Amino acid sequence: MNDALPSLDDLVACPQCDTLHVAQDLPEGMRACCQRCGHVLMSSQKTAVARIISLALTAFVLMIAAITFPFLSLNAGGVQNATSVIDAVLAFSDGLAFPLAIAVAFFIVVLPLTRLTALIYALGPLVRERKPYRGARIAFGLAERLRPWSMAEIFIVGVTVALIKVAGMAAVTIGPAFWAFAGVVVITILKDQLICRYSIWEALDQAKA
Amino acid sequence: MGLVACRNCGQVHQKGVTRCKRCESVLQSRDHQSLQKVWAWLIAGIIAYIPANTYPMLLTSTLLERSESTIMGGVVDLVNYGAIGIALVVFIASVAIPVGKFLAIMYLAISVQRGSQRHQHGRHKAYDIVEFIGRWSMIDVFVVAILSALVQLDTLATINPGIAAVSFALSVIFTMLAAQSFDARLIWDVDRKTDD
């Protein structure tokens, strides 16, 4: 049995159900799925790393804009109130809810920025065909592990629901940060679709030598 | 056949290796404490979900009145405004998804404990869906955050978050952790008895 087994580096185990597959070179634009549970094992896109980096940089810049510019403002009966993303986080900063303010800050600002920074750090040198920086693997692993906890897209849907709730009572002005944040969400989704873990681990492996 | 895979990067190792040579994650053929962790997080999630529904999510005060609304109260308000679509979004995110998730995780944990061999593909799909959809329950917490930040018009009208927002957020976080602690490979283990 062991004689027929290819070298360990040529095997891929499905992270979801542990079925063992033999890795093969994929034609451009194809995807390989687990035979048992259908989990995507690899998807081939030649220029993926360069595109991931450019999208990550764009999202990073937009995120900074989303934090600094005015997000929404409300006007009713001559009284006005402007809100930034940071104000939304601080909404929970009174009393018992304080830990929630920290959690919300992580979900919508800190973790998305951490993921982007880690990706740029891990993959940046690959684009310029240099050796990866120290800890590139840990950074990429971290970016992937934080994926479910980075909730920018959920926040923007929440904002939409909130806008509909107040729209009847007062005039709402949408600031530039809202559009910047929406941009972050769209670009992050595009970027995450390009990430094929297998190919990136392979690329990091090859660049190390 | 004596191999162990890294769940972080997919690298396959000989059995007995404890750290992945590629990404340095800890290797574990199966997480033996998986179900124990799943039950612990799940029960914590269900307990936190109770005050999330009985206490107010939003405290609204206007010139004329002060009112408090719970999760279901908010949904009913939206229906009264005529915003049926949005009411549906909030209902699905805050009631249907959390309750569905509790049931789905319980079913997955119980079926693995019993060594069920039925519907493996279906159960794996259910696990995928639970993992993907669970985080969307956070919508309501963000709605509360934006409303309380935005509606601060001195005496005219103010909205402040209620304590239910905290317990609801905790409930979502706990059930996300429950779903992540579930080792989906256990669903398939009844097919071939692994020796550890």
Inter-residue contact B173 to A6 (CB < 8 Å): no
CATH number of B32-188: 1.20.140
Tokens 């006005």 correspond to A80
Which residue from B86, B142, B151 is facing A74, i.e. has the nearest CB? B151
**Torsion of Cα atoms, A188 then A146 then A29 then A124, to 10°:** 80
A81 and A33, same domain (yes or no): no
DSSP B26: B
Distance from CA of A41 to the nearest CA of B (A): 9
> Element (H or E) spanning B66, and its range?
strand B66-69
Distance from CA of B195 to the nearest CA of A (A): 15
Pair of tokens at residue B33: 């404490």
A73 and A167, same domain (yes or no): yes
A88 and A188, same domain (yes or no): yes
A165 and A97, same domain (yes or no): yes
Burial code (b: 16+ CB inside 10 Å, e: under 16) for B75-90 equals: bebbeeeebeebbebb
The answer to whether the Cβ–Cβ distance between B139 and A108 falls below 8 Å is no
ipTM value, please give it: 0.84
A15 and A72, same domain (yes or no): no
Inter-residue contact B141 to B165 (CB < 8 Å): yes
A21 and A120, same domain (yes or no): no
For chain B, counts of helices (H) and of strands (E): 8, 6
Q: Name the residue ranges covered by the structural domains of chain B.
A: 1-30, 32-188
CB atoms inside a 10 Å sphere around CB A120: 18
A82 and A57, same domain (yes or no): yes
Task: Sort out which chain B residues have CB atoms less than 8 A from A185's CB and list them.
Answer: none
Pair of tokens at residue A91: 């909404």
DSSP B15: T
A148 and A60, same domain (yes or no): yes
A107 and A52, same domain (yes or no): yes
Sequence-distant (≥ 6) Cβ neighbours of residue A155 within 8 angstroms: A107, A108, A181, B138, B142
List chain B residues with pLDDT less than 50: 195-196
DSSP letters, B83-124, are -HHHHHHHHIIIIIHHHHHHHHHHHHHHHHHTT--S-HHHHH
Q: Closest residue of B to A2, CA-based?
A: B1
For B106-135, the pLDDT digits (tens) are 999 998 888 877 788 888 888 888 888 888
Inter-residue contact B120 to B187 (CB < 8 Å): yes
Tokens 């999630």 correspond to B45
- Pairwise CA distance, residues B23 & A128, whole Å: 22
Pair of tokens at residue A112: 């998305």
| pLDDT for the residue numbered B196 | 46
- Pairwise CA distance, residues A23 & A7, whole Å: 10
Phi and psi angles of residue A52, each rounded to the nearest 5 degrees, phi first? -60, -45
> Element (H or E) spanning B34, and its range?
helix B34-54
Per-residue pLDDT of chain A (209 residues; tens, 9 = 90+): 445 667 777 788 887 778 888 887 777 777 788 888 878 887 766 677 888 899 999 999 999 999 999 888 888 777 888 888 888 888 888 777 788 888 999 999 999 999 999 999 988 888 887 888 888 888 988 898 898 899 999 999 999 888 888 877 788 889 999 999 999 999 999 998 888 777 788 788 777 65
A40 and A104, same domain (yes or no): no
Domain limits at A30?
1-44
Closest CA to A91 of B11, B150, B92: B150
The domain total for chain A is: 2
A23 and A13, same domain (yes or no): yes
CATH number at residue A148: 1.20.140
3-state secondary structure chain A: CCCCCCCHHHEEECCCCCCEEECCCCCCCCEEECCCCCCEEEECCCCHHHHHHHHHHHHHHHHHHHHHCCCEEEEECCEEEEECHHHHHHCCCCHHHHHHHHHHHHHHHHHHHHHHHHHHHHHHHHHCCCCCCCCHHHHHHHHHHCHHHCCHHHHHHHHHHHHHHHHCCCEEEECHHHHHHHHHHHHHHHHHHHCCHHHHHHHHHHHHC
Which residue from B3, B25, B188 is facing A141, i.e. has the nearest CB? B25
| pLDDT for the residue numbered A133 | 86
Q: Closest residue of B to A137, CA-based?
A: B23
Interface residue of A1, A81, A108, A204 to substitute, partner B, most B CBs within 10 Å: A81
A23 and A66, same domain (yes or no): no
